[in-house]
Structure 1
């Protein structure tokens, strides 16, 4: 009971009304927009503190009460990562739109209970004022860190600006031998910890399951593997970004709106975590781009995808989703460039999904022979084969007047995937109906009927 009174007193050193007003300001800020899990985290620990239960706040209680996880399912690590994200978001908020707030809330390192502080100016020397604004007495040692952070952000913005203006970003500095580069990365991860290497291996294996993109079973398997990677190493962005991609795809393929919304909400949260952990990684930005695409925010999806490609210009999985987003939004020439077989890319042993993406782009550009050749090459090289592969190959053959070949492919399509409906599939992926119609027109000309 004494501990409860002590903690209640600590929380109420400031008026409860002032604390609640500050909580409302923080939660309503742009810094916490689209960060529902962090908002719930902050609300929970604040309410617990105001209720006198600050001493009971722990990783397990947050995992159970905020995330709905079982007490012993290993969720403590996720809570630790989110606590770090929350500290960074609060710091960003008070550096910008919350700089003039009269009250501030902190989550100090090493714990989860909040600390509240008044920063109202008083008429005395700031050096002797214990409640002066943080900026007035920031240790000198923090300044270099702030300068580095600002410069890093400026570089990311510069890269995005160059891409959006159609200019070429500065070339990636590093060895061109992808095998040697991958070995160096594995060595570095192993030196960090065996867990970090194992998580990276799992995430990379899961990335090989993201295509065929219409294969629900593959997407679910990928999600499970990414979750394992996140649990093994919750500080790595790769698992969070990968799961955001696979869950986003599952949302796109979901049979009903309720399931779609649930999957998309989790995908968005994971993409947000990936960016918080590693904002300069193209795969993290690609996760946000894919979530934006699935949500139907096509301009933002394209902008973020271009940023992702500028940050990781040779990463195969980032380029694959870049090509898909560009192609499905009608940027066919740029999609063909992103998936061009001659473009340097590091696939890390994954199947060449980019050849199918290159085929789709060329189909819409009217290069039907190139589209067919690219699909055939993908098949020969062990690329992912799906109902979409046969659909586009049939459409390209029909566009060339090879009706018999198109009919044979459609017959194989119906036999192998009897439940597949091209009209339903293309309408989910394409931004513009006229681009979906280009595919469906050729299929119907070859004799395909949705009633089959």
Structure 2
């Protein structure tokens, strides 16, 4: 990451900012043969996200008094470099603790180390660049936005921080401990500021997910009731936001209210076409409704517009959609790319990969994945789950049939 940062800064200072691409970074920083470039470009995208997070973390803690700020805005690799003169430091975000776990912010030591490597450049910039406003994204918010929120209410800023953290924890959703942690964080956001819609929207999404996945009917009923209350509160507080509408859509999906779910999902997409977390839930609702072409459009549009830092659920949903459209090669490619980019990995992605390879006639690969699914998730019933999730159970049955052709058998039938 140090080499990454130095490279993009030097290229920008040399007047080549517009020429900085994932391919140029892959070639000049990572090296390797031309045949390796596509894979290395994916690594560049992932590392760009890591670098953005480290920079944001550094300037929010140890680097809060730095006069020169380096930023890597989303959507490209050209750095934004600016001077801060007399700017008040942002407050350190306090830790949020539960009875079982303390959610501790990682240290910023690594970021500080590689920023020291750029100190000469920073000194030069401090004397040559004009003063400019800093727009440093942290959890989707600029520095000015975070300062404004803090001035209005430090508790609101903490609620925003917690809610943004919770959004990244929801997927892969078949991990109960992960969902429990996410729900705890969203409840913490609500406790910090009940009037912030994000805590309610996130809690609704997680609770509805638990309601759909749990085999316990009493837990499902209580979670769905809670999710409905939280989604309605989110819409009441911020009806114009895609996150509120996507939470409402997800709850309606959990209640099997398909027309209402589709309407709210489409509204959410129109309101927040650039919010990847909204697109995750929208794509899943479209998938389970059988709108497979729409799922592919959502994912391909996002990939063309955004420099994605990692894989997201809508990329996995695209793989599932292609399977049901009988584009098995496309399904394999989508799931493998999502995995390489750090997307959610779990029994669902393994099951779809297994089924896709089986339908392509690659039985050895399919059976290897079958063994992996049985070994690592012996209790998983992806086939039954998907018959429950799809509006038309036929699609879940198609997946289960292909899995069984690959010699996969449920644990209780062996």
Partner of 2:196: 236
Kept after mapping to 2: 8 A contact 1:391/1:422? yes
Kept after mapping to 2: 8 A contact 1:387/1:413? yes
Partner of 1:439: 399
Query: 2:139 and 2:217 mapped to 1: Cα distance?
Result: 45
- 1:350 deviates by 6.7
Q: Does 1:272 align with 2:227?
A: no
Which consecutive segments of 4 or more residues in structure 1 shift more than 4 A? 177-181
User: Of 158, 179, 182, which residue of structure 1 is paired with 2:141?
Assistant: 182
- 1:178 deviates by 7.5
- 1:400 deviates by 1.0
Kept after mapping to 2: 8 A contact 1:316/1:346? no
- 1:213 deviates by 2.0
Q: Does 1:304 align with 2:258?
A: no
User: Of 313, 320, 330, which residue of structure 1 is paired with 2:290?
Assistant: 330
- 1:345 deviates by 5.0
Kept after mapping to 2: 8 A contact 1:314/1:346? no
Partner of 2:335: 375
SS of 1:383 mapped into structure 2: coil
Kept after mapping to 1: 8 A contact 2:354/2:367? yes
Aligned counterparts, 1:316-395, within 5 A: 316-340=276-300, 341-344=302-305, 352-395=312-355
Q: How many pairs are equivalent?
A: 276
User: Which moves more between the two structures, 312-321 or 423-432?
Assistant: 423-432
Partner of 1:156: none
Partner of 1:400: 360
- 1:339 deviates by 2.2
SS of 2:141 mapped into structure 1: helix
- 1:314 deviates by 0.7
1:152-173: CA deviation from partner (whole Å, max 9, x where unpaired): xxxxxxxxxxxxxxxxxxxxxx
Query: 2:292 and 2:304 mapped to 1: Cα distance?
Result: 16
Aligned counterparts, 1:68-79, within 5 A: none
User: Which moves more between the two structures, 243-252 or 427-436?
Assistant: 427-436
Query: 2:405 and 2:167 mapped to 1: Cα distance?
Result: 36
- 1:351 deviates by 5.0
User: Which moves more between the two structures, 252-261 or 309-318?
Assistant: 252-261
Q: TM-score, normalised by structure 2?
A: 0.63
Q: TM-score, normalised by structure 1?
A: 0.58
Kept after mapping to 1: 8 A contact 2:387/2:394? no
Kept after mapping to 2: 8 A contact 1:241/1:283? yes
SS of 2:305 mapped into structure 1: coil
User: Which moves more between the two structures, 291-300 or 378-387?
Assistant: 378-387
Partner of 1:313: 273
Query: 2:319 and 2:364 mapped to 1: Cα distance?
Result: 20
- 1:358 deviates by 1.6
Query: 1:346 and 1:323 mapped to 2: Cα distance?
Result: 19
Partner of 2:383: 423
Root-mean-square deviation (Å)? 2.2
Query: 1:434 and 1:185 mapped to 2: Cα distance?
Result: 48
- 1:360 deviates by 1.1
Partner of 1:20: none
Kept after mapping to 1: 8 A contact 2:150/2:157? yes
- 1:180 deviates by 11
- 1:343 deviates by 4.4
Structure 1 residues 249, 180: CA separation in 2 closer, same or farther (over 3 Å shift)? closer
Structure 1 residues 291, 180: CA separation in 2 closer, same or farther (over 3 Å shift)? closer
Query: 1:239 and 1:179 mapped to 2: Cα distance?
Result: 18
Partner of 1:166: none
Query: 2:177 and 2:389 mapped to 1: Cα distance?
Result: 18
Unaligned stretches of 5+ residues in structure 1: 1-176
Query: 1:346 and 1:257 mapped to 2: Cα distance?
Result: 41
Unaligned stretches of 5+ residues in structure 2: 1-135
Partner of 2:154: 194
Query: 1:380 and 1:398 mapped to 2: Cα distance?
Result: 21
Aligned counterparts, 1:45-124, within 5 A: none
Query: 2:285 and 2:211 mapped to 1: Cα distance?
Result: 15
1:304-333: CA deviation from partner (whole Å, max 9, x where unpaired): 100011111111111000000000110011
SS of 1:436 mapped into structure 2: helix
Structure 1 residues 356, 302: CA separation in 2 closer, same or farther (over 3 Å shift)? same
